[in-house]
Chain A
Amino acid sequence: MVNDIKTGIKDGLPIFLGYFTTALAFGLLTRTSGLTFVEGVLVSITNYAGSGQFLMMNLYNAGTFLLGIALSVFFINSRYIFMAASLATKLENPRSIPGRIMVGFGTTDEVFAVASFKGEKVSYAYMAGLIFTSYAGWVGGTACGYIAGSFLPDVIQKSAVITIYAMFASLLGGEASKLAKVLLIALISAVMNSFLILTAGVATGESFLISLLVSTVAGAFIYTDKEAGLE
């Protein structure tokens, strides 16, 4: 159990670094939007969602009604329904109620991706280490960003952006070395998402959801049942 927590913390370190630097910008945004320190940090404590929080603040600054903000944030977060349903099949003890609430609370894009490629099943101890480390980066970064702004030197702030993407690329590289077909599915979702965002002008949240679903269904035809891990 202690070992699982340690492995989770270790796997969470790249996420910590990426979240911390992104959250600096978010913390600063809450201050310039007129929120108090407690309110700004409370957003990250209670929401714990990158794109959803930035969207919320942008709409708040634009004077959008609460219902409009809630619907937009729900829509950008609807991808989590699919991610959570997918990760739910990998839990070692799927019946634990506090365990499921904890994992559900922590199911961000990055936690989902790392946990999904972690062997057959994942324990709650592992998930606790992974989620706690990532959460600490997100909340800590928000607090520091509110107080100090983006205090990191420009080149460090800029290069730290690559951390999370490098983590995704690294997961993809690991999978590709096992089964090259992975690249075909990744290519479909990457090309589709790029086209929708850059050419068709679709908003990031919608575009991601569409690309995710289309490439998944395409993948179900490309993969055999056995390759997909289905008995």
Chain B
Amino acid sequence: MNNSVITMILVCSAVTLLPRILPYFASSYLSRLPKFIRKCMMLLPVSALGALIFPLALTDFGSEWYAGLLGVASAFIASYFKLPMIVSILIALAVTSCAIIFI
């Protein structure tokens, strides 16, 4: 065991977990925030989705970026037409694999 590595791991754990855990202990304070801020809190998940998908869903595939795009598009369409999430993901897996193999 290398002490400086262990120290680094634990320090990084602290700066990762504190931002995640502390807000849950501020919830009574959060509910007293102005209405506009509370509205933003409600919309955060929706706005996160766009940036969670793009551009990384394309750049993660490098020169085969179209495989990522086709996968994401097929999952979106499948769920838009009310297919269960697991089915959408399986469709996306199939579409992406085919795109990598055949295109």
Residues in A lying within 8 Å of B, measured CB to CB? 10-11, 13-14, 35-36, 38-39, 42-43, 46-49, 52-53, 56, 60, 66, 69-70, 73-74, 77-78, 80-89, 91, 94, 100-101, 103-105, 107, 109, 112-113, 116-117, 155-156, 158-163, 165-177, 182, 185-194, 197-198, 204, 207-208, 211-212, 215-220, 223, 225, 228-230
Contacts and interface: CB of A to CB of B under 8 A. Distances in A.
Interface string B71-103: 111111111111001101100110011001100
**Among the interface residues A101, A159, A161, which one has the most CB atoms of the partner chain B within 10 A?**
A159
A170 B39 contact: no
Interface string B47-80: 1111111111101110010011001111111111
A13 B87 CA distance: 12
A220 B36 contact: yes
**Among the interface residues B6, B48, B76, B78, which one has the most CB atoms of the partner chain A within 10 A?**
B48
**Among the interface residues A100, A155, A165, A177, which one has the most CB atoms of the partner chain B within 10 A?**
A165
Contact of A217 (B12, B17, B40): B40
8 contacts: A47-B17, A86-B42, A170-B85, A171-B85, A187-B50, A190-B54, A191-B54, A208-B52
B87 to A, nearest CB: 9
B80 A177 contact: yes
Contact of B5 (A39, A87, A177, A217): A39
Contacts of B74: 166
Given A13-B86, A168-B49, A186-B50, A105 B57 contact: no
A189 B47 contact: yes
B54 A219 contact: no
Interface residues of B, number: 76
Contacts of A66: 4, 7-8, 11
Given A161-B60, A162-B57, A168-B53, A104 B21 contact: yes
Contacts of B19: 74, 77-78, 80-81, 84
**Among the interface residues A10, A36, A103, A166, which one has the most CB atoms of the partner chain B within 10 A?**
A166
A167 B57 CA distance: 11
A172 B49 contact: yes
B16 A36 contact: no
B20 A219 contact: no
A173 B74 CA distance: 10
A86 B45 contact: yes
Contacts of B57: 162, 165, 168-169
A81 B80 CA distance: 30
Contacts of B46: 175, 182, 185-186, 219
B77 A173 contact: yes
B35 interface: yes
Contact of B78 (A43, A47, A170, A223): A170
A13 B41 CA distance: 27
